[in-house]
Amino acid sequence: MAFGIKRSEMVAWKAAVSRGEVAFLTHYWLDPRFPGMKTVTKVGCSDLEKLASWCRANGLNPKYIHARAQYPHFDLMGAKQREILRSANQREQLERFGMVDG
């Protein structure tokens, strides 16, 4: 279950993904398969090779890309999520979702 994002944020993410950009969208998320995880960041890009290359460059296995027809994405959670958001200069998402260290 996703919550904590505005429709305009989702629309902007979808547009960026459709243009072949690597785009980040973080939201609150609850899933019993992942206890203790409260947020997820969807890193999307319609260019699957570009997204796979991004995964490899960030130490992630591209086999876990959700190859959805319109909005392919990789789900980031936990420590790697914070690390990548920091390196991608996604400060607003880090602060908004309480992922900034002390």
DSSP string of 39-97, one letter each residue: EEEEEE-S-HHHHHHHHHHTT--GGG-B--SS--EEEE-HHHHHHHHHHTT-HHHHHHT
Q: How far is CA 83 from the centre of its chain?
A: 12
Question: For position 30, what pLDDT does the model report?
Answer: 87
User: pLDDT (tens digit, 0 to 9) for every residue of the chain, 102 residues total?
Assistant: 567 889 999 999 999 999 999 999 999 988 899 898 999 999 999 999 999 999 999 999 999 999 988 999 999 999 999 999 999 999 999 999 989 874
| 6: number of Cβ within 10 Å | 9
Nearest Cα to 25, choosing from 69, 100, 79, 84? 84
Question: For position 56, what pLDDT does the model report?
Answer: 98
Q: What is the pTM of this model?
A: 0.91
Q: How far is CA 86 from CA 2, 17, 80, in A?
A: 22, 20, 10
- 73-102 confidence digits (pLDDT tens): 999 999 999 999 999 999 999 999 989 874
Q: Which residues pair with 42 in a beta bridge?
A: 25, 75
Please, are residues 86 and 58 in contact by the beta-carbon 8 Å criterion?
no
Q: How far apart are CA 67 and CA 98, in angstroms?
A: 29
